[in-house]
Structure formats: structure tokens, C-alpha cells
Structure 1
Amino acid sequence: MPDALALNHLTNADLHCHSTVSDGGLAPAAVAARAAAAGVQLWALTDHDEIGGIAEARDAALRLGMAYLTGVEISVSFAGQVVHIVGLGFDETHPALREGLRSTRGGREPRAREMAEGLAQVGIHGAFEGALTFVGNPELISRTHFARWLVEAGHCRSVPEVFHKYLTEGKPGFVPHRWAALSDAVRWIRDAGGMAVIAHPARYKFTPNEELALLTDFVAHGGRGLEVVTGSHSAAEALKYAGVAKEFGLLASRGSDFHAPEESRTELGTLPDLSGDLDPVWVALADRVHFPH
């Protein structure tokens, strides 16, 4: 059973995953059970722009012997792209955070209806209603829900194929969304007592100058962490961003970005360890960790 003294030596932290509260395939308690079975010692549920699963996730984690950090993944717009900022260790009752997340969620349904209209124009009808059957929280309907329905309905063989054919820029079902500003997301997390972390930095298609601007602005606004080891990073990318974390004085985070069985690139709890010369984000958050009794 982990405790505060053990955080310095803890290796199997998984601080990025999703449940049916956003676009995951399992309920929060089921994700907790899967994490515990995989040997996760410290866990955070980080649903997209939503903290409604935290109480269930925390109760399940503590019952299963895992330490727990509150978490969320906030979508922000930066240099014309969507960037994800993970918040960890915050007070989920904080009014400004809750209102900021509510406003971010607000544009998802109109966007989803536009996506369905685009798909209807190429002969795929009923996509909005179909996607809703995969949604645990209608406020958070997303491209992933459309993709799962399109596979079930036989339009594609897999979720990646759906994105390639229909849901990326220039394709019939793609509709951009104006997310929160980077400064707003970092402020919401900080004001609620938490720490902001840039999620899976290798996934963004920034030029070197744009990535430098992202990192510089993030630090200037009070961002503190960078996901180094994550389900979408190769070993080479993890090495690169370990260097970036050290260069910018950022704490290192680790998370699978698990969404659903047989759909995610990486299973909960199976990531490589962080490099020993990095400072783990969870050590700096020791006073915000919930420990099993």
C-alpha cells in the first residue's frame, strides 16, 4: 500500500485515462479495477473537460489499495491546433474550475450535430443519434463516439479507419471547435490548487517554433509538468521529451491515455518507467494524494 514516504520510489503511476464520463468505454470504478489489476500504485482518472467521475473513481481506487490524485484533461486551442492539458491534484469543488469546464463542454453538441450533417451529405444518415448510444454523458459527445458507431454500423472496420476517412481535417465529418485558451485552462487548475501538465506533446503537429511558443507560454502561465512517458509516445519520443522537461524545468508525468479495452494503444499500468534523472510530478503533489486507509 503506497504512502507519502513511498512516493519518491513509486514507479507505476498512471495519471491519464478515461471513463464513460467522457469518451472512455468503461465506468470509473471499472477503470479503477483494471488499473489495480495491472499493478498501478497511483492513479488518476482524467476525463475530457469533466470531473463528474472523480468521486466514484477515488472511492474505488482507495478501496482497491491504490493511491489517488484528482484529474481532468482540458482541451485548449493553441496555434490553430487542439492541445490537451491534464490537471492533477486540484480541489474538484472549486467554483472557477467547475464553471470553466462547463463552458468548455458547452459547444460539443452543436459541433456534433454539424458533424452528423457532414456525414449525411456523403450518405451516412443517423450519425448523431447513433453516436449518442455510445455516450455516457451527452454533454461530452465527441468524435470517438461517432467513430464507434460508424464501426458498429459497418461503415468502417476500425476506429482509426473512421478517423482517416471521415473525422480529420478536410474529411466530411470534421468540424473544428473553439476550445479554452491555454492561459484559462492553466489558471483554472492552479486556482483550484492543482498542477497543469501538457499531455502527449509528440502528438501535436507543431513546427519547432510553435512548440517552443507552446512550452514558453505554458511555463509563463504557471504550467508545471510534461507527459514524458505516455501511450502515444515511442521510446525515442519519450527520450526527446525527457530532455525537453529538463530544459524547461518541468516535472515529468506518466499516463497510458487508456480509453477502452482493445481500442487503446497502451493498457493501463504497462508503460515503461520514467527515467531516474527526471522529477516525477506526483512527488511534488504529495500533499494532494489520497492514500488508502
Structure 2
Amino acid sequence: MNIDLHSHSNQSDGVLPPTDVAVRAHANGVDWWALSDHDETSGLAEASEAARDLGLGFIPGVEISVTFCDKTVHVLGLNIDPGQPELSAGLAGIRHSRFERARKLADLLSGCGIDGAFEGAMRHVDNPDLIGRVHFARFLLEQGHCKSLQQAFDRYLGDGKRAFVPVRWASLEQAVGWILAAGGKAVIAHPGRYRYTPQQQDALFGTFKSLGGCGIEVVTGSHTPAQSVHYTQVALTYGFEASRGSDFHAPGAGRADLGGMPDLSDRLVPVWRDWI
């Protein structure tokens, strides 16, 4: 089966409404799909209804922002109960931090001679609570301050750049705890994206597993083929289950469209084995 357990809608930093993401997944031959918006579950009811109408299997998800070793890590919560009070309260706190960061980021861009960034970014936001760096990148691209979204990060928004605002997200312990309380499985998203030393990465995986984390994304739109091979071995070494997801945000963006990734190695235990 074609299973894609990582995607985003306009309820966080994607561009399509949840229904349209479901339609695109179905059209691309996906059999089971998860919507996993950043720190937000407001799109799950619409996504579930759309999937049901299409005959598409649906797994409710969320992608939680975490700080570990002073860097941001994303942890997927898959097959969660989105109404669980502990999870809902935790996500609300993260969304408040996002809004505060956006104000500071706009001030830094003003210092770079780019005015109106907050209002400009908000034009690209469907859910104001989920304003993020990608919305500022879209504003910068729109105004001609960069030639691509990646250049916006390389020039202004990326770690250590002129408009970078550090922020403390949830702890790894909190995020895993919220996911487990909501009846879900905790999975480290796109581990190849994090710039950790081997020692720090070992600490991440070891701590995550000790807290009850069960898996990592092995095949994802953020990974090169070589990285997928590497994290296949990581999953086997640590005894993690493996997940597969495109990390879809918008048509034509990223390395993979919905459902357009290679299969997991048959040596791995898929994270969905108990659900599908």
C-alpha cells in the first residue's frame, strides 16, 4: 500500500485546505494518509471527513516543535486523539510562542530595511496562531528580496542569519508525554535535517526511546536516498519502528509530492503495523 503519514495544510504552513490535501493524496494513489500540521490539530476534523468521502484511510496526526540541545526538532504524533486535554493545552502554549517570535522577527527584518514584514507575512497565513518563518519567506519572495524560499532562509531567516529569532519550544519529554497521553505514537520527523554531532544525535535517539518514543521517519521528502539508507540502519540499531511521509506543503515544493516516495525496506517494522 501507498502510505503517507506526514503532510501539512493551510492550518499551519501548507497552502491547501485540508480537504484539498486529501483530494491530492487520493489522486496520487495514497491508500492511507495523515495530516500532521505544525502544533495544530484544527484541520483534522475536515481532513477526516474528506478522507472518508474519498474512501481514503486516515490517521490523525500533529507535528510538535521541540527544543533539544539548543536546536529545533520536530516530533510527529500519529494516531492521536486531538481532543485530549493535555495535548491541546501543550499545543496552545507552543502557538503562543510562535506569535511572539513572529513579532520579533518582523522587527529584525525592519532593521534590515524591510518594513511591513509582519503584515506581509500575515497575508500568507490562514491560521494566525500558526504564523511561522515560511510565511515570512513567502513575503520576502513576493517582494523581490530573494529569488526562492530557500534563499530567504539562507539570507535572512535561517539559524544564525540576520532575522533569526531563537525560541524555546516544548521539551522532548513534554512532547512525547502529550502524544502518549493522546493515545498516539511518537516519531522523530526527518532526522537527517538536524545538524547534530554524532554524540548529540545518539543522545537524541537514546533519550527519545527512553521516554517512550517508538519510531523515526526513514523515507521522507526531506531525505536524500543516501539518508534513507542511513536511517534504515539507525532504526534497526535502536529498535525503532519506521515511518514514511512526504512532508508535503504545497504543489511543486519539496522533493516529493504526496505518496511519491520509495517504499520502506522490508527489514523495517512500519509504524502503522498496528493500525492498518
Q: Relative to structure 2, which stretch is displaced further, 240-249 or 209-218?
A: 240-249
Q: Confirm or deny that 1:191 pairs with 2:173.
A: no
Partner residue of 2:26 out of 23, 36, 40: 36
1:177, CA displacement in angstroms? Answer: 1.1
Correspondence 1:172-211 to 2 at 5 A: 172-211=162-201
1:247, CA displacement in angstroms? Answer: 1.2
1:79, CA displacement in angstroms? Answer: 0.5
> Percent identity between the aligned chains?
54
Q: TM-score, normalised by structure 1?
A: 0.93
Unaligned runs of 5+ in 1: 1-9, 287-293
Q: Which amino acid aligns with 1:267?
A: D
Q: Confirm or deny that 1:135 pairs with 2:128.
A: no
Distance 1:250 1:279 in 2: 8
Q: Confirm or deny that 1:26 pairs with 2:10.
A: no
- Structure-1 residue corresponding to 2:82: 92
- Structure-2 residue corresponding to 1:64: 54
Q: Relative to structure 2, which stretch is displaced further, 47-56 or 243-252?
A: 243-252
Distance 1:201 1:176 in 2: 20
- Judge conservation of contact 2:222–2:254 (CA < 8 Å) in 1: no
Unaligned runs of 5+ in 2: none
Q: Confirm or deny that 1:147 pairs with 2:132.
A: no
Q: What number of residue pairs does the alignment pair up?
A: 276
Correspondence 1:245-284 to 2 at 5 A: 245-284=235-274
Distance 1:59 1:99 in 2: 24
- Structure-1 residue corresponding to 2:114: 124
Partner residue of 1:212 out of 194, 202, 205: 202
Q: Secondary structure at the match of 2:273?
A: helix
Superposed CA deviations along residues 100-149 of structure 1, whole A, max 9, x for unmatched, are 11111111111111111111111100000000000011111000000001
Q: TM-score, normalised by structure 2?
A: 0.98
1:94, CA displacement in angstroms? Answer: 0.6
Runs of 4 or more, structure 1, over 3 Å off, are none
1:88, CA displacement in angstroms? Answer: 0.4
Distance 1:160 1:225 in 2: 28
Q: Which amino acid aligns with 1:36?
A: H
Q: Which amino acid aligns with 1:125?
A: D
